[in-house]
Structure 1
Amino acid sequence: MTRDILLSFIKPYYLSSTKKHERNNMDEEEPRDEGQQGGSVEQSPEQLVARAIAPVKKDFLRPPPVRSSSPNDGVSIPNDNNKTSVLAKEKKSKRQLKRERRLEQKSARNLCPEIAKTGDVSSCPYKDKCRFSHDLEAFKAQKPADLEGQCPFFKSGGACPYGLGCRFSSTHEDGVPSANLNGLKNNSEVNGLSKHVQKLLWKNKMSFSKADAQLKSLGLVGTSKSKRNDLENKDEGDTGSNKCDHSDYSGSCVVTSDSCCKLECPEEVMKDDDNDIDGKSESDVLCPQKRRKIAENCGPMDAENEGVSVTEQIVERSCTKSEPEAGTDALTPETDLSLKLHSREKKLIDFREKLYLAPLTTVGNLPFRRVCKVLGADVTCGEMAMCTNLLQGQASEWALLRRHSSEDLFGVQICGAYPDTVARTVELIEQECTIDFIDINMGCPIDIVVNKGAGSALLTKPMRMKSIVEVASGTAEKPITIKVRTAYFEGKNRIDSLIADIGSWGASAVTIHGRSRQQRYSKLADWDYVYQCARKAPTTLPVVGNGDVFSFVDWNNHRTECPELATDMVARGALIKPWIFTEIKEQRHWDISSGERLNILKDFVNFGLEHWGSDTKGVETTRRFLLEWLSYTFRYIPVGLLDVVPQRLNWRPPSYYGRDELETLMASDSAADWIRISEMLLGKVPDGFTFAPKHKSNAYDRAENG
């Protein structure tokens, strides 16, 4: 991107702001509220900090723009034809959106992927039954102009899977390249859900032998409703009922009336409709991916028996090893697979002093995590995924578990309300994904999650928390960690009373967010209470603190105040300035320039095009997530503009000028300016483009911000 093109985007905005500033200076000074920075009564930096207002140097301040008193439903962006387009519009129903997507599929804009790869209209195997368009000429006529730069797939040394649909197709070599990436857009990503497993989940025929066995051993095999009521009664102080009601269990196994809590597989599990296999359970017939995992993790003798069921192999090994010819008196866990590792004997993760990027909803996607890895993050965790959606085989939910090869220490976060769903999800993730740990979210404050009994709702039911952690740690071979808040209700903290037991439940680490569910994200985090919990925790249970870490000074203070803390989790601080990891490692306040910030955004765009695709759909998906991220980054105030360093997370930035045009544009709280930044990197937005941030906060309640 040349300097001239860059200035063409930002100069009109900068000049209009400068003229308005000069006009205001020429006018007679109007009285302002004494509480506003730059008002008739100047305030010292200390006074501003006390009122949580960022103390920006007076040379860079400008008066706030005049706000219209008339209500407005959205932001308007002027275009070349002096027309306006509203950013925030009324949401459409799911049925209406589905109908529009079906009509859109048949339009010329959605060319058949096979034809796009090869350029041959006859290459589609579905012919007239294909749900996509086969009109190659119409697609070329309406296709937007290619973007500047090189195809991200070619840049990374691979082949582009989008062919003619790629927005960088003019840079392709040898005509129309194609590649077989096994369903993934990028072969450096793992944890994709196979079609075979997805069909089993859709048909409710997936076998969860380990989870069901663990549920049985903990006495949680009865009907879901009875056991859930039993746990709730225990939470309320009732002893509950130990009676088994012998009714069907919702899952792959049921409880028979002949023997209490005896598992039997129903008939539908004994038959695979797709493969026409009778008389074998799902665990007996392994998909190629599972056979490959057995061959990789077992010895030569095991590889020869890959067609035999896992149970038969274990029995055969145990019998062979017990013979006198084996020449050993004691069996080690490595030679006897029938011996299960205790939860404390699992391979634990050393979180101490590691820079931990929190799992962040919407913005904590794979491209953003790659940016943070480049800037120094050590531990990354995927976005929170709901257990019920994963067990239903929803592709959009499984996409949250994707992992890039650069994430050397990676975990996934799941959220569930009951032990059975969490246990089955844990077993499924371990079978299908490559991960280092599994985190269970017991602190999510979102209403839709809490109303289902998950997230922060579990803080009111410690017995259910215990059952979930015990069954998950007993099912999984990977470490199980949990993330909690201080309490559900403000002023009724309870984690300190549970911290001594959480380790005995089987958790390998616990993260404590220093706010209650009722508090959400308002006020400052209660780090004194986090310290109290860390000191009460057993030495075998690492405690991770979370909340308001925004500089290396915050990081150092927590290390000094409480050496018992293993590390800090960085959340919103990384959203606003992802280079916080560099600052912590280098122990400095980085006065980053606007050009360096733009380069970070460019990296995100390149990573996003690799992840979501380089076709038109992928470009617009990347733009959407970029705009969501920009709705946080504008809160950053450059170090060189502050009277007091470092910036605190709760400071409200006043209206100010940057040191150059680009820095001024990046400081704007207007969604229209975020869109202008996206156009620098991804070209013009399509006609009718709308955007409104997903998250809710006071900064976005004004109509001007969409």
Structure 2
Amino acid sequence: MLPAGTAQVKAEFLLPLNPPTSVPDDDAAEGSTSHVRGGGAPSEDQQEDTRSTGPARGKWTKEKKKAQSGMNKGRRFGKVRDEVDLCYRVASGGICDFGDKCRNNHDLAGYLAAKPPDLRFPEPEEVQSMPVPVIGQMDVDGDAEASAASDLKTICPVFAETGDCRFGFRCRYLGGHVRYTDAGVAELVKDEEKMAYSAALGSGEVNRITNDAQKLLRSKKYPFPIATAYQKELEATDAANSKPKPKPSAIVISEPDQDQDMDGVGAPVEVPPQPKPSVDELIEKRTGDSVAPVDAPDARTRFSEKKRLDWAGKTYLAPLTTVGNLPFRRLCVSYGADITCGEMGLANSFLAGSKEEWSLVRRHPSEKTFGVQLAGSKVLSLVSTAEVLAKECGNTIDFVDLNCGCPIDLVFKTGSGSALLDNVNRLGKIVFGMSRALGEIPVTVKLRTGVKDGKNNAHKFMPRLGPEFNASCITLHGRTRQQRYTKLADWDYIKECVDAVRAREADEDLPRIPIFGGGDCFSSQDYWSCVEQSGVDGVMAARGALIKPWIFTEIKEHREWDISARERLEGIRRYAEYGLTHFGTDTAGVNSTRRYLCEALSFQYRYVPIGLLERLPARINDRAPAFRGRDELETLLASGDSRDWVRISEMFLGRAPEAWSFTPKHKSNAYESQG
């Protein structure tokens, strides 16, 4: 008899004498992804202390459980480069401006002679017949001893999409865009027709900050007129509020009319003089944008002029740290995701011109509705970041999301993320200021129910987010910061919050804003029952999408998809293809793609095929007992051993270099070095 919380796998697929596998700690998955040197390797005790199975399996002590659970902190993934490198200019077929003074190699013939053999990327139809790797069979492509000559039958994913490969001779799929003259000289090929077609479609990634703007940010010379004006307004109101109160005398001032637009000013009324209200008081009185900023450079966009978000019935992929990169978002879009959001970026890092942070705003044209998520605690830094995003990427960003839900200590202790749930006045200043800086670009807010268990407070301020703070959409994750993922999401409370927002909208005849819920959505049945019972406009998919990216197809088609192993493998092939076009097709790009593909597989292996289950729908928190699949590939895809994830990556990216290793984020997976 299997314990409660165990996935009900049919008896014929169960493996004997094996307990349910442990589910990776999703709390730890939200932790730091910094690659601090020396932090990723497990101790000798951890390496030797693996679980036994069958009668020999003993109970673990608390110390053992603590050592195995959680995340491998400080993982480090160094770049793997070619042994003989080549100057970027020469590699792209050009001439280096530095000539002999260049520190990089210019010997093209010598580079090509030493270059590893071309990799071969499989076509979609080949996936149906690809051999399944066997444990211990590391050399999947069988091409380790092949000649370094380019394979003219190979296909370069970048060239196939755009007609030009920016990596030139350094590309590991060089045979797809090279030709040899009669004298044996290699020449790069460009498909002018495909390049023109690609440019017309806008198939390349967008939202690349210019070098000039990045230099201004790094030197702290980038102008922020809107943020500066807003900051002066805050200082002026605070200073006025701290002055002694003047003697009472009747004067006439204007107060905003509650029935007018947020920017409108009502009829004059006679009231006693008062000190100039602070921004907190302005927000409390729901004056909206009625107070003119000091030294405002331009006329501000009224809230009524912002883009209205008609998101009802649309599927939404949550912003996900590490794994929610552009290739994964493209994969989810191919399965039916309508709204995507980039990984959480820190406002201070954007303002510092961080290359890594600005890479998070990259967008592929296939993303129909795309947003950028920010985290921070300071009003000025978040408003300034919103302003620079509007200036540099305003035409290619559909919304900016403020993260008020991140529970990890690293973020919470700085006053960011879910810490803002206990500081509503600061939250109001931030959203209000970001809305002003972004112009017509909407601001959305992602929340949790509260900070501590038993002290939910989202229902108190959610009705204010739209009419008072100028938020255009709200997402509510049905857990507190303290709960993380230890309890099921509280959809009854989500309904209470939705009802509170809709009640105020009805009472004051306010425009309706979309509200999305979140938590434990793992099937089409989960999704539509949550929508119906809670009244949300949709459910943001997070862990459900990580474990089964095809959940968006299930949602749209109102069905549970018994996806085959080969169909899942085709999705992995697509992820690898999207990874190569994003990270690059040179040696470093191939292994960056391999790293993030293994990150994705560290979630996807947790999927239990519904054809193996006694009861539907599957539940996200059920632990699966050890089982075999309906074929060898399905069994391999269910492996929690990170070495098997590397073997799967080798089916599409060639053999992993000896110098490369993958350390899983979760300690509950195997963490031996990979070959």
TM over 0.5: yes
Within 5 A, what are the aligned runs for 1:292-691? 339-433=299-393, 434-477=396-439, 478-503=441-466, 504-537=468-501, 538-539=504-505, 540-563=512-535, 565-691=536-662
Q: Does 1:196 align with 2:159?
A: no
Matched, 1:59 2:4: no
Pairwise CA distance, 1:210: 1.5
Distance 2:626 2:18 in 1: 8
Which deviations, in whole Å up to 9, do the C-alpha atoms of 1:393-447 show, x marking residues without a partner?
A: 1111101000111111111111111110010100100111111111000111122
Structure 1 residue 129: deviation in Å? 4.1
1:354 Cα deviation after fit? 0.7
Note the 1:72-221 alignment, pairs <5 A: 72-73=46-47, 108-118=83-93, 123-149=95-121, 150-174=155-179, 175-177=187-189, 188-219=204-235
- CA distance in 2 between counterparts of 1:645 and 1:172 reads 49
In structure 2, give the amino acid aligned to 1:360: L
CA positional deviation for 1:144: 2.1
The amino acid of 2:453's aligned partner reads E
1:618/1:703 CA distance change after superposition, 3 Å: closer
Cα 1:73–1:688 change in 2 (3 A) is farther
User: Aligned partners of 2:612, 2:514: CA distance in 1, in Å?
Assistant: 39
- Equivalent AA in structure 2 for residue 411 of structure 1: G
Give the SS at the match of 1:189: coil
User: What is the CA-CA distance between 1:475 and the residue it aligns to?
Assistant: 1.8
Aligned to 1:287: none
Query: Could you tell me how far 1:189 is from its partner in structure 2?
Result: 0.8
Letter of the 1:470 counterpart? F
Give CA-to-partner distance per residue, 1:365-403, whole Å, 9 cap, x none: 111111111111111111111100001111111010001
Greater shift after overlay, 154-163 or 400-409? 154-163
CA contact (8 A) 2:72 2:664 kept: no
Contact 1:218 1:471 in 2 (8 A): no
Deviations along 1:304-336, one digit per CA (max 9) or x if unpaired, are xxxxxxx7xxxxxxxxxxxxxxxxxxxxxxxxx
Say which SS state the counterpart of residue 410 (structure 1) adopts: strand
Change (3 A) 1:507 1:90: closer
Distance 1:682 1:643, change over 3 A: same
**In the alignment, is the contact (CA less than 8 A) between 1:74 and 1:705 conserved in 2?**
no
Q: CA deviation at 1:173?
A: 3.9
Separation in 2, partners of 1:221, 1:63: 71
Q: In 2, are the aligned partners of 1:75 and 1:704 still within 8 Å (CA)? A: no
State the shift of 1:143 in Å.
2.4
Shift of 1:542: 2.4
Contact 2:230 2:294 in 1 (8 A): no
Paired residue secondary structure (2:377): coil
Q: Distance in 1 between matches of 2:215 and 2:537?
A: 42
- CA–CA distance in 1 between the matches of 2:532 and 2:616? 20
Match of 1:552, as an amino acid?
S
- Give the Cα–Cα distance (whole angstroms) in 2 for the partners of residues 201 and 704 of structure 1: 42
Alpha-carbon distance in structure 1 between the residues aligned to 2:375 and 2:346: 5
Deviation, structure 1 residue 353: 1.2
Give deviations 1:285-308, integer Å, cap 9, x for gaps: xxxxxxxxxxxxxxxxxxxxxxxx
Residues 75, 671 of structure 1: 8 Å contact kept = no
CA 1:620–1:600 in structure 2 vs 1: closer, same or farther (change >3 Å)? same
8 Å CA contact 2:379–2:426 kept in 1: the answer is yes
User: How far apart in 1 are the matches of 2:553 and 2:349?
Assistant: 36
Residues 129, 52 of structure 1: alpha-carbon distance in 2 compared, 3 angstrom cutoff: farther
Q: 1:419 to 1:172 in 2, by over 3 A?
A: same
Taking the aligned partners of 1:65 and 1:681, their CA distance within structure 2 comes to: 32
| Counterpart amino acid of residue 398 in structure 1 | W
Q: How many matched pairs? A: 525
Looking at structure 1, the residues matched to 485 and 604 of structure 2 have their Cα atoms a distance apart, in angstroms, of 17
Structure 1 residue 145: Cα displacement: 1.8
Between the aligned partners of 1:560 and 1:647, the Cα distance in structure 2 is 19
C-alpha contact 1:669 1:705 (8 A) present in aligned 2: no
Distance between the aligned counterparts of 2:72 and 2:496, measured in 1? 47
User: Which stretch of the first structure deviates more once superposed, 152-161 or 429-438?
Assistant: 152-161
Offset of 1:484 from its aligned partner?
Answer: 0.9
Cα–Cα, structure 1 residues 381 and 454, in superposed 2: closer, same or farther, change >3 Å?
A: same
Look up the match of 2:287: none
Q: In 2, are the aligned partners of 1:591 and 1:638 still within 8 Å (CA)?
A: yes
Unaligned stretches of 5+ residues in structure 2: 22-43, 51-70, 122-154, 180-186, 243-274, 279-292, 506-511
> Amino acid of the residue matched to residue 536 of structure 1?
A
Query: Partner of 1:569: helix, strand, or coil?
Result: strand
Structure 1 residue 73: Cα displacement: 3.0
Q: CA deviation at 1:109?
A: 3.5
| TM-fit CA distance, 1:449 | 1.4
**Hey, what's the Cα distance between the residues in 1 that align with 2:673 and 2:612?**
24
Cα separation, 2, equivalents of 1:501 and 1:480: 14
**How far apart are 1:344 and its partner, in Å?**
3.5
Does residue 693 of the first structure (1) align with residue 664 of the second (2)? Answer: yes
Deviation (angstroms), 1:350: 1.1
TM-score by length of 2: 0.72
Amino acid in structure 2 at the alignment position of 1:593: S
Q: Give the fraction of aligned pairs with identical amino acids, expressed as a percent.
A: 43
Asked whether the 8 Å contact 1:193–1:395 carries over to 2, the reply is no
- Structure 1 residues 138 and 377, CA gap change in structure 2 (3 angstroms): same
State whether residues 159 and 178 of structure 1, in contact with CA within 8 Å, keep that contact through their aligned partners in structure 2.
yes
Deviation at 1:492, TM superposition (A): 1.1
Change (3 A) 1:115 1:178: farther
CA distance in 1, matches of 2:617, 2:357: 38
Contact 1:486-1:514 within 8 A present in 2 as well: yes
Measure the CA separation in 2 of the matches of 1:634 and 1:220. Answer: 56
The answer on whether the counterparts of 2:664 and 2:671 sit within 8 Å (CA) in structure 1 is no
| Unaligned segments of structure 1, at least 5 residues | 1-41, 77-88, 227-240, 245-260, 265-310, 312-337
Q: Distance in 1 between matches of 2:486 and 2:103?
A: 48
8 Å contact from structure 2 (residues 300, 436) kept in 1: no
Question: What amino acid sits opposite 1:168 in the alignment?
Answer: Y
